[in-house]
Amino acid sequence: MSENSEACCRIPPVVDEGYEPKGRYIDVGGIKTYMTGPLDADKAILAAYDIFGFFPQILQGADILATGDRDQSYQVFMPDFFNGNTAKMEWYPPANDEQKAIVGEWFKEAKWSIHKPRVPGILQAAEKVNPNIKSWGIMGYCWGGKMASLVAGDEPGLFKVAVQTSPAQIDVEDGARVKIPTMLLASNGESAESVEAYKESLTVPNYVERFDEVHGWMSARADFKSDRVKAEYGRGYQLALQFFHRHL
């Protein structure tokens, strides 16, 4: 854990409300994609969003990853894997069998087995947008956290480093296959036992911490009316940037 103790990555103040994204939406391989950061960056991050899509909190997070540290910038690409058909916040938690059925039906099109094979093509298309890119990291939120864990186990690897926050369906078997430096920033929605078991399964450089925050506190569920949440949101991004600086 000490490898992330250095004083760096002093991110800008978190904007409570009315955040104006610094990036723009472009077409990347036929997929609407939020792109932010320097157009000539030689290091890039694929941001795999949560099931709620382009919420202001997650777009602000992408901007922080891109330019939060003036000494090292990244170009960040956040593709709309679900083509606008994201989950609705009011679905959670499902209150009855009807709502559970709605969620179950939606997830049929959100299986990682459907979307993971799309990742190499997305990276190739992004490199046509910016031919300077030489290396990739991945930042995964909730649904995207599981995606980050899965691609971190690929051979040969597309990514040099993976960061997960509030990851869905933590699996020690995924952890045992991970081949690149990996960070896991869990919430209190993930059991301490599953987080510890995943950490114990890792054989690569890693940083694992379980925050006393709700699932999704670094993305769509971040409630900036709470000073504590806002502070922990910022600390999460500081840790992520430190890890990317060290390994990307």
Its pTM stands at 0.94
- 248 residues of the chain, pLDDT tens digit each: 334 434 355 677 788 788 999 999 999 999 999 999 999 999 999 999 999 999 999 999 999 999 888 778 999 999 999 999 998 888 877 778 888 898 889 999 999 999 999 999 999 999 999 999 999 999 999 999 999 999 999 988 899 999 999 999 999 999 999 999 999 999 999 999 999 999 999 999 999 999 999 999 999 989 999 999 999 999 999 999 999 999 99
Q: Which pLDDT score, from 0 to 100, does residue 155 have?
A: 83
Spatial contact of 219 and 166, defined as CB atoms under 8 Å apart: yes
Q: Give the CATH number, domain containing residue 109.
A: 3.40.50.1820
Spatial contact of 196 and 175, defined as CB atoms under 8 Å apart: no
Q: How many Å apart are CA 121 and CA 116, to the nearest integer?
A: 10
Sheet holding 135-141, edge to edge: 24-28, 31-36, 75-79, 43-48, 135-141, 161-165, 182-186, 206-210
Q: Which one, of 55, 56, 92, 83, lies nearest residue 168 by Cα?
A: 92
- Based on DSSP, count helices (H) and strands (E) in the chain, helices before strands: 8, 8
Annotate 129-155 with DSSP letters as a single string.
H-TT--EEEEEEETHHHHHHHHHTT-S
Per-residue tokens: 201:
């399964």
Per-residue tokens: 226:
């709470």
Give kind and range of the element (H or E) at residue 246.
Answer: helix 227-247
Per-residue tokens: 6:
């250095």
Full domain range(s) for residue 12: 2-247
Q: Which pLDDT score, from 0 to 100, does residue 9 have?
A: 57
State residue 140 phi and psi, 5-degree precision.
-115, 130
Q: String of b and e for 75-99 (b: at least 16 CB within 10 Å)?
A: bbbbbbbbeeebbeeeeeeeeeeee
3-state secondary structure of 77: strand
Q: Which pLDDT score, from 0 to 100, does residue 3 have?
A: 44
Q: Which pLDDT score, from 0 to 100, does residue 10 have?
A: 65
Domain count within the chain: 1
At how many degrees (to 10) do helices 56-67 and 227-247 cross?
40
Burial of residue 186 (CB within 10 Å: 0-12, 13-18, 19+) is buried
What torsion do the CA atoms of 59, 61, 66, 70 make, to the nearest 10 degrees?
A: 130
Q: Which pLDDT score, from 0 to 100, does residue 90 have?
A: 80
